[in-house]
Each structure stands twice: as structure tokens, then as C-alpha cells.
Amino acid sequence: MHASKIQMMKSTESTLGINKNECIQFGIGFATGRKSFQKVLKAYLYNWKEARQQEKENINLHLLVAYDLKYSNTKSTDYTNLNQDIVDMIEQSYFIDRKSLLKNIEDLMQDKVISEKEITSFFGNGYAGKRNAILYTAIRNKIDYLVFLDDDEYPMAVTKNHSAVLWSGQHILTNHLKFIKEADITNGYHCGYISPIPNVNFDNTLSESDFRLFIEAISNDIVNWNSIRNIMKNGGVTYADTNILVNELAEEVAEVNHCKFITGANLCINLTNPNKVLPFYNPPGARGEDTFLSTCLNSHKVIRIPCYAFHDGFSAYNHLLDGVLPTTLGHISTNSEKIVNRFYHACIGWIRYKPLLLYITQREHYEDKIREVEEKLAVTLPKICAYFNRSDFMKISSELALYSRNVKKHYKHFLDTQAIWTRILEYLKTTNKC
């Protein structure tokens, strides 16, 4: 592959004398639009170095970054000009933008494996498209395992002890490498500001039963009211489970309503058998690429591993990476316009992919389920608008109607994405490029 990359000079043998052919190729993938990803990456790499994994196995680290210049008005050098400390720890780096991607799939187009229209759908501008570009790059370059990280998640866990919070470092990369060899996918836990749902003070305008009905209408199976209520009681903060941290037990992810739910970050994919690697998809303008991948994993071994990442959902705690560890964490309050905006956009994102999720997992009851959602929204949306003093929450209802009308088209795109990926893999195998 000729993607923009940095080739570092490395010895062909480790200090243990292991042949390079036996070396593990371990990829770190970011789908990002923030130049601050470098600071996050540096934290993970220092964490890796502190764990001294290289002394145990012969491992090369590879960096794969699919970046979006429009997301936060960045320029390409914000991603490609790596800090020297990062360069010294990376075997090879791949930077993927639209131009470099088109250059590096020229053979796919020339050999009519994929059409120009399919390129737009499969490698599009959304998160799914960027993740697919990273997957393709990793497999084509014979990377064994690929871990996806988010640019707003840090390798640490926060727990609560009476009136104070306690912090602990998490060896995320090494934990994934420990378990991924015996699994198709490994997925860690998340703490911090995972949920965008603010801490609501219920009143005559919006009761707890109203809000519960609303959350049930817009959410998926993995987001249930009991978990949301507990998070709200903690001021919107999800604390790490001490039992998971102490016992360090991994467990297989159970299938729930035809899904083995995973998250898009703190996520590792075993690439050693490309036939078991699946692509990402989300409906246009929606998220949920991890949720839709979850619907395809019934025959895959998915392991939840005992490591946490702290999700800084409001970018309020990036000083954690400078060593500043607060003893308390702020509440998600409805008094903040920024918080309400995030909640609103999360609601729009959830409702946009709910029709397709229902169509995939509960097709025989699809019409009834959609009608149930519509009825719950009709009751609760006026109250939500009144409570937050924002009439645009009513748009949730029209978005549901729009995406429900298009659900069969989106389902076809979902299947097309898998078919395109199958063709790409077959081409790479027949041309000995994976």
C-alpha cells in the first residue's frame, strides 16, 4: 500500500533473538478530527512502554489515522507531523485522507472490484467509512491485530470512595493483546462521561415517568432505564466497577436480542483470519456503526476484557493527561447550553439509527415497534421541549418518520456494505495482498 506513511528504522530481530517473521504486527487506529489525538496517543504509548510488553514478545506497533479536516478546522500536518517521542515507538504510520485513499485503492477500481459509487458509500465521510478505511489499510499491510481508540478517551479508570474519587492507570493495549489471540473481537469497559443524558431535576413539567418513557423511545436494548437512572444519581458520571478492576476477569459477551453489543473504541479486532473481519456501517447522518457491527457477531467470539478507558465526553478533563487528577467530578447539569446541545444531538443520532436496528433485529414486529416509539414520543416530546425550553426537540419525531420511511433502503445499503467488503477481501487474497 502506498498510503502516506512514515517508515522507521528498526532492527529485524528483537533482543530475544526472535525472527522478524514471527513478529506480531499490532495496529492502533484513530478515526479523528481533533489534533489533540496526538496527546491521547502519546498517553497510550507511554502506558504501553511502562508495561514493558516489548520485553515479553517481539511486537511492532503501527499507527493508522483516518482524519477529517472539516470537523474542527484542522490541517493535515496536525496529524502527520508526529512528536518525535511518538515516532520513536512506532514501526510504521499510515495517514488516510480522501486523496491518499483514492490513490491506494486504484487497483480495486482498475480491476473493477469496486465502483466509484461504492467507494463513496463504503469509504464515506462518516465514522463507518473512516473505520473501513483503517480496516482495509491494516489488512492490506498484514497487520495481525487492530485496536480502535477514541481521541477523547484516556487509559485510566475512576472509582468512587465515599466523598472522593480514585484514579488508576489502565494497560489497555497490553490487555487487548493478552486476550485477542483467542478471540475474534475484544472490547474493554468505559467510565467517566459516557452518557450524554444530563441530570434532570424532575418537576411538574417533566416527571420521572415521562423521562423514562422518552429514554425508552429513543434508546437501544443496551441502554436501559435502570442503568441511566444510576448514572443520573451519580451526576452523569459512570464509575469503574472495582470488582472488575481487582479480579481482572474476562468474559464472553452474551447475545441480547440478536446483538453482541460492543463499543467503537477500546475495541480490538483480530485480523489474522480476514474472513471473520466485518465492515462498519451507519445510515447517512447517523452514528451506530458499532451497534450495527454488533448485529453481525452471532458466530464470533467476543470477549469483554477487564480494562477501562475514561471517556471525556465534554472535553473538560484533558488535563488528566498532564497528571492533574481531580478528587471530584462535576455533574452534567441542564443549566449548561453545551450539555443540552450534546444531549439533543445524541437524541437525533439515536433516533436516526433506531429504525434500522429494529428492522434488523425485530423485523417481524417492526411496524408495532415503530408505532410504540411514535406513541411514546407524541406523549413526551412536548414535555421535553418545555423542560429544556427548546422546541427543536420536536424534530426527533420527524427524524424517526424520515428514517423509518427509508429503512428498507438503509437495510439494502447495510447488506451492500458487507458484499463490497467480501469482494475486497477475495481480491486481496487472490492477489496475495493480505
How large is the average pLDDT for residues 336-359? 93
Are 423 and 274 in contact by the 8 Å Cβ rule? The answer is no
pLDDT score at 13: 31
Give the mean model confidence (pLDDT) for residues 282-288.
91
Over residues 113-126, the mean pLDDT reads 91
Between CA 94 and CA 215 the distance in angstroms is: 40
Q: How far apart are CA 88 and CA 122, in angstroms?
A: 33
Amino acid letter for position 93: S
Backbone dihedral angles phi then psi of residue 302, each to the nearest 5 degrees:
-115, 125
Is 5:100 a contact under the CB 8 Å cutoff?
no
Which residue, among 270, 262, 268, has the nearest Cα to 294 in the 3D structure?
262
Does residue 393 or residue 248 have the better pLDDT? 393
pLDDT of residue 10: 31
User: pLDDT digits over 167-224, tens only?
Assistant: 999 999 999 999 999 999 999 999 999 988 888 999 999 999 999 999 999 987 666 7
Given the C-alpha cell 448514572, which residue does it identify? 231
Mean pLDDT to the nearest integer, 75-79? 92
Measure the CA–CA gap between 349 and 288, rounded to whole angstroms: 8
Do 135 and 146 form a contact (C-beta atoms < 8 A)? Answer: yes
Contact 169, 51 (CB under 8 A): no
**Which tens digits make up the pLDDT trace of 34-57?**
988 999 999 999 999 988 655 667
**Is the pLDDT at 6 greater than 70, yes or no?**
no
Strand bridging mode 24-32 / 145-149: parallel
Cβ-proximal residues to 124 (8 Å cutoff; 6+ apart), any chain: none
Residue 398 confidence (pLDDT) above 90: yes
Instruction: Give me the pLDDT at residue 9, please.
Output: 26
Beta strands in 68-182 (DSSP E): 92-96, 145-149, 153-154, 156-161, 164-169
| Domain layout of the chain by residue ranges | 4-195+237-329+416-430
pLDDT at 433 over 90: no
179, three cell numbers: 486476550
pLDDT of res. 93: 96
* Residue among 383, 403, 379, 399 nearest 391 (CA): 383
- Residue 163, C-alpha cell as written in the block: 466523598
Three-state secondary structure readout of 310-346: EECCCCCCHHHHHCCCCCCCCCCECCCHHHHHHHHHH
Mean pLDDT, range 348-374, rounded to an integer:
96
CATH number of 4-195+237-329+416-430: 3.90.550
Determine the average pLDDT of the residues in 61-83.
Answer: 92
- pLDDT, residue 66, reads 95
pLDDT at 12 over 70: no
DSSP state of 280: -
Q: What DSSP letter does each residue of 40-51 carry, written as one string?
A: HHHHHHHHHHHH
- What local confidence, expressed as pLDDT, does residue 11 receive? 29
- Please state, in angstroms and rounded to a whole number, the distance separating the CA atoms of residues 224 and 219: 8
Grid cell locating 67: 482524519
Instruction: Select from 250, 236, 266 the least CA-distant residue to 148.
Output: 266
Residue 130 has what pLDDT?
95
- Judged by average pLDDT, the poorest of 6-10, 377-381, 382-386 is 6-10
Q: What is the mean pLDDT of residues 58-77?
A: 92
State the pTM of this model: 0.91
Classify strands 24-32 and 164-169 as parallel, antiparallel or unpaired: unpaired
- Predicted confidence (pLDDT) at residue 85 exceeds the cutoff of 50: yes
Residues 83-97 have a mean pLDDT of 93
